[in-house]
A and B are shown apart, each in its own frame.
Chain A
Amino acid sequence: EVQLLESGGGLVQPGGSLRLSCAASGFTFSSYAMSWVRQAPGKGLEWVSAISGSGDSTSYADSVKGRFTISSDNSKNTVYLQMNSLRAEDTAVYYCAKATEVYSSSPLDHWGQGTLVSVSS
């Protein structure tokens, strides 16, 4: 059974940093791309970032480019999202999601339950 468990969310001040983690199990981690998708309170889904199964290809939404960094550790079956220079508009539930193929141009067939990031002074 595929399981994705996010952690690392919390309250942070504007300009601060946070690192999210997503521990994966139940599938061959290096064979699938992973994404982070966020959802602001009461709003829709916004894709944030993706990384290929091998970790050699990454992509970012314009809204986070230059501030967020995605990475993965295949030995730990874990994907990370380092978030710097956080803004109030980054407040959201952040979901980790597994793609159906090794590269990110594929649908997201499993999702974690999400971790809440609140950016406020």
Chain B
Amino acid sequence: DTGVSQDPRHKITKRGQNVTFRCDPISEHNRLYWYRQTLGQGPEFLTYFQNEAQLEKSRLLSDRFSAERPKGSFSTLEIQRTEQGDSAMYLCASSFEGLYEQYFGPGTRLTVT
């Protein structure tokens, strides 16, 4: 399968711990996006990359959040000092420049206890 993959699918962590999620986009896609989704809401934009450059970050993305895409392929999203409010589904999507539709991965469900 050549779709977007995310790892892990589920993560349970204690408040105050750091977590890191990985996203592998569709190989020929040069744009990569991170979203956060809570129950009953649509995905909320967090940040996006074109190749390895991070071109936009949401104001929702506090200093505890950082994302990288070092070689323009996979990306990581790290949350430091997790809080209970960080519990959500974290979705990654990719697209090819020039095409508007985004292809989403299955998400990583984070539970902070």
A binds B: no
Interfacial residues, chain B to chain A (CB-CB below 8 A): none
